[in-house]
Every structure is written in structure tokens, then in C-alpha cells.
Amino acid sequence: MNLRTAARGFVAFLLSVPALQGKPYWAVTYPYINICALRGSTVEIRCNYEYPYANTVEKKLWFTNIHNKPVDLKDDTDYSGRVEYSCVRPSCSWSSSSCIGTCTLRIRGLTLSDSAEYQFRITTNNGGAYSGVPGVKLSVTDLQVKVVIPSSSPNGVQLECHNMCHRTGYVTYIWYRDGTQPLHGRLTWFNINSEYRVSCAVQGSEHLPSPSVYAPETPSVGVTPPGVIKEGSSVNLTCTSKANPVANYTWTKVTTDHSPGHSVQGQQLSFHPIQSSDSGQYLCKAKNELGTKSSPISIDVKYGPKHTFVISSPPGEIMEGGSVTLSCSSDANPAADYTWFKDNQPLPWEPRRPYTLDSVHSKDRGTYRCQAGNQYGYLGSNSFFIDVLYAPKTPSVSVRPPGEIKEGGSVTLSCSSDANPAADYTWFREHGGSVEELGENYTISNITTELGGNYYCEARNAVGLQNSTLMFLNVTATSSSSVTTTTVARGTVAVLLATILLLIFLWMRRKRGGRPDTGEESPPCPVYHNVSALTNRSASAAQ
């Protein structure tokens, strides 16, 4: 039958089944072979033993079946200070030729590991040893509070005080709420997410309450390894919470729009390896049947620059004198500092702010790029070409071949100007208008003295135009022309001399042939009207 024993602060539930081991006149019996006791209580295990009258018992001991050979519990370190034997002196009878004795094992402060089979053993003076087999099975257990979830109430649960040692009969339970005694009964009510703790005990053994049940406490969250989190490393997030029943854990990444993120079950959330995109806030939720508690943790993944590029505002072509802002953008943590380059030469610009050219000049035309860097790395940007549009600068004019220009030769005039877009060229002769020659070069073949003078070019593009300074062409005559001129001069002198001589000749002739004055007029001198013909004949004669 089931019995309940309570003495000096201990509770045990016993099953009485006789046990006999040994030869006639040698016997060990146990009043109860199954005993159930609560953790923390004191239990007594009793035996009766019998042996022949002619023998003497030299040693009595209790042991368990845990060890390979009998070890006296008084010598077992697991029971040190917690066991004692209470053995009554045997009573011997001549008539029965036997001695009968009792011995009780008392164990205080029972632990769950004390659950075992216990046996009593006697050793006699003739070297014999006798044990009571099978022994007494001791089961050590806790009072348990079970959670019963009713389908009709989503906001609360029923708690049941459960005793594994109690099979039948009536037992009065006492409930405790945060150490106070609210009521009696086998069941009590618990509101979900309440902060209090609930335990129960058997009346009469109030000092042996059950473990308290309670909703999870606010979880403690952490990251390992501690310190700076670098991209590519292995990182674990851990979450712990005190709760009974034991809590289940769920990790969720908090999204910017607070929509449900991806959830991972388990007390630990691992990143192998961690990426920059893993930065953010994570929520650990600890939950059991009695409630839920959450704790956040933020991780900030450090990494070198990524996706570095240059942005121009406004984009596209820029007119000289306009304004343009260059910005360097890069994904980096911590924020990157920037180094600027123009045509691969570093610029003394500030490391972070955008750079503005307030009045763009033609010299600002070129290829720009930036380099982003922090303590975790460096990355260069794309190359960005700034195309500054401007009107032609004052053109420069040159002549080939240089030096003196001979009549009949060939000469080339060249015009060049710095302009964007490239300039078109038109040639002009001073006071002579356009020479109807387009292009950077103007070539004059078989030049004559009449083509000498000042020339200039006009450089023109979509932005504006500009004229060059004057280029003077001094064309000199060749040697064959000089001979002809000398010959003509000599012929002219000869004609003049011939004319003079003819006039002298005619004058002298008139004088010789003069008569005395008779009052008649002398005939007039001959007059030549065709002087040119005469001059030509004289010239021919001179030649």
C-alpha cells in the first residue's frame, strides 16, 4: 500500500514489499522497497536482518549499486556529512538459535542524484558477508508546477502543482506568489506576462517548495568577440534570459519600416563571415508559456571604401566663367576622407567636402578623379573629364619659310589658337578683305610684289571669335627684273642724248646758212610731230 511518512521535516512515500536474501537463519528484509522523496527532504530507509546465534556481526553498512563493489556510504564523498545509521542491538534467542536486529539509514538534504538502489550488508566473524538483494529503490524528485493553457482564455494560464510521489490519497497544496501565501488548492491562475513568480508546496512541508515558475526576464544580449566588428570576421550574437519554463529564443533584424524581418530560431545568431549589409539593430525575443520579453542590440560593421565615384553638378559641358561642383561619393564605415587628382596630379582640396569651381577657366579643363580612404582600406574612383568650352584665344601667326620673301617663290601662313571646341580659320589681307581661304594654313604660290602687305587670320567657334595680329609680307624682286629695268633706263638716256644732239645740229646748220637781212623772213625750222616715233628710232639706234 502507499504510505506517507513525515518526521522531523522530511517527506517520503513508501511502498512496502518484503525482501529476503540469504540462507536459513541468514536474512535481510526491507519494509519498503520503493521510496519517493522530495528534493531537500530527509529520508529514512529501514531494514531487518537475522543471522545464526553462533555468529557475531562485526560490521554493518549501507551502500548503493552505483559502485562496482560495496562502499560504505559513510565513506562515500557524495554523502559526506549527510548520512547516519541508527541500528538497534540484535536480540538473540536460544530457542530459535538466531539473532534479529534492525538498522535504519537516514539521508538528509536529498538531491536528485541520490536517486539509487540502497542495500544493507552485514559481515560476520567467520568471514561471511550477506546483503539484502534486491535493495530499496529511492526516487528523489521536485514538486513541479505544470502550465495548463486553456483554449478559452488567451490572456492567462492555469498552474497545477504536481507531485510525482503522490499517487492516491489527498494532499493539500499551498501556493506562493513572490513569497506570499495567496491560496490553497491544486490549481491557481497566472496572467500572461505578469512579473511575479509562483511556487507551490505540500502542506506540512512548506520549507520544500517547488521551483518557481515565471515569465522570461528581460534578456541579456551581447556580441562575441567584443570590440570593433570588421567586415569578413566571424561574429556571434548571444541572448540569455532567466525563465521557468525555459524560454525559446528568436532573433529578428529590425527593418527601417518596422515590417517583420527574417527570423532565426535559437539563443545564438551567427555571422560567418559578417558583411557590411549586416549592420543594424537586432531584436532577441525570449518566450515561454507565461510571457515574452525582448531586448535589442545594434552592430556596426566597419569596412573600407566601396563604390567610389565622382559626381559633377551640373553635368556635361561647362562654359568658361561658369560654376561647377565636384563631389566624391563612397560607401565606407567610418566615413572616408578623399584625395583629389587632376590629370594624375594631387590637388590641395579639403578631404571631405565637395569642391566648387566658382569661375571655370580654360586651365580647369582636364580629367579629375578622387581616392576614398579610411583605416580599413582605399579605393579610387572613376575618371571624370571636365570639358570647358571657351572662345578662341588671340591667334598666333607664323610664316614658312621664314626670312626674306623672293618674288616668284611660295610662302605658307599658319594660324593657331587655343579654343574649345576647335576653331575654324579664315584669312584676310589688310584693306583687301577676305582672300577666300579657309583653314589653318594659307599657301601663296609664285608670289609677286603686288601680293605683299599685311595679312591676318580670324579664329571662330560656337562660343566666339578672335583675330590675330598683322603679319607683314615684304616681297622683293628677283635679279632678271633688275637687268630689264637697267636696259630700259639706258635706252631712255640714249634717246634724250640723241634728241639734244639733233637740236644742236639743226641750230648750227641754220646759223651757217644765214643770209644778209633783206627784209624777208627766213623759212621756219622743220617741226617733228611724231616725237614718239623719233624717240623709238633713236632708241633703236642706240641699241
Task: List pLDDT tens digits, range 356-370.
Answer: 888 999 889 899 999
Number of helices followed by number of strands (H, E) in the chain: 2, 45
Asked if the model's pLDDT at residue 443 lies above 70, the reply is: yes
What pLDDT is recorded for position 513?
60
CA distances from 338 to 302, 333, 523 (A): 18, 14, 118
Q: Which of 432, 439, 396 is nearest to 416 (CA)?
A: 396
Percent of the chain with pLDDT over 90: 46
How many other C-beta atoms can be found within 10 angstroms of the C-beta atom of residue 40?
18
Tell if the pTM clears 0.75, that is, is over it.
no
Helix (H, G, I), strand (E, B) or coil at 368: strand
Q: Is 351 helix (H, G, I), strand (E, B) or coil?
A: coil
State the average pLDDT over residues 159-179: 77
Cell, residue 136: 530499496
3-state secondary structure of 27: strand
Q: What is the pLDDT of residue 360?
A: 92
Reported as a single tens digit per residue, the pLDDT across 24-55 is 578 899 999 999 988 888 999 999 998 888 78
Q: Which of 238, 210, 213 is nearest to 224 (CA)?
A: 238
Residue 403 pLDDT greater than 70, yes or no: yes
Residue 539: pLDDT over 60: no
- Residue 358: per-residue pLDDT: 87
Q: How confident is the model at residue 483 (pLDDT cuts 50, 70, 90)?
A: very low
**Per-residue confidence (pLDDT) for residue 460, from 0 to 100:** 95
The answer to whether the beta carbons of residues 460 and 440 sit under 8 Å apart is: no
Residue 326's closest CA among 281, 286, 364? 364
When the pLDDT of each residue in the chain is averaged and rounded to a whole number, the result is: 83
